[in-house]
Amino acid sequence: NTWTKRCNVVVFISSDRNDSFPTVGVNASEGREHLTAKTMQGFKYLYDRHLDDADWFLKADDDTYVIMENLRYFLSGESTEKPVFFGQRLRYVVKRGYANGGAGYVISKEALRRYGLRGSQNVSLCKSVKEAEDVDFGLCLQNLGVILKSGLDSQNRTRFLGVTPE
């Protein structure tokens, strides 16, 4: 009950449905090795049920903090009709880079549409290869023609921070 109250729509994805907390249960086991499946099923759920409810879709972990006003301001100059996503760019595995999952990342409506229409049912484009969730989903988005754009500000500082700033 912190920053999410400033969101238009909030959906909590979990491995289990919980009646005491508003979660959507997906068919994925608990554990790091199943995060890709949980993330991909979560985005499919958003595509199926919330595509027209928002322009941008943020993936954040339970320990992520977002200043929504800053994120909205940053995204206000971007087109939701372009297949793009933003996050802290890493390049360890994915040629064009992927967004650090721990820092959170945000995908455009068009990126979600491409994933829902083509990626969610096509394992040759989007598959879990037992890499990290952010690597797998970054490869998936790259295969769908979704571009990771810079999340840096005008002073080259990251807007998505994947480590404690201390």
Q: What is the CATH number of the domain that holds 9?
A: 3.90.550.50
Residue 77 lies in a domain: yes
Q: Which domain holds residue 93?
A: 3-149
Rounded Cα distance between 85 and 37, Å, is 19
Strands (E), the chain: 12-14, 23-25, 56-59, 84-87, 89-90, 98-99, 105-108, 147-149
Into how many domains does the chain fold?
1
Q: Residue 155: inside a domain, yes or no?
A: no
Residue 164 maps to a domain = no
What is the phi/psi pair of residue 148, to 5°?
A: -80, 110
| 158 belongs to a structural domain | no
Q: Does residue 162 fall inside a structural domain?
A: no
Tens place of pLDDT per residue across the chain (166 aa): 678 888 888 777 777 777 777 777 666 767 776 788 888 888 998 999 999 999 999 998 888 888 999 999 999 999 999 999 999 998 777 778 889 898 989 999 999 999 999 999 999 999 877 668 899 999 999 999 999 999 898 999 989 987 766 6
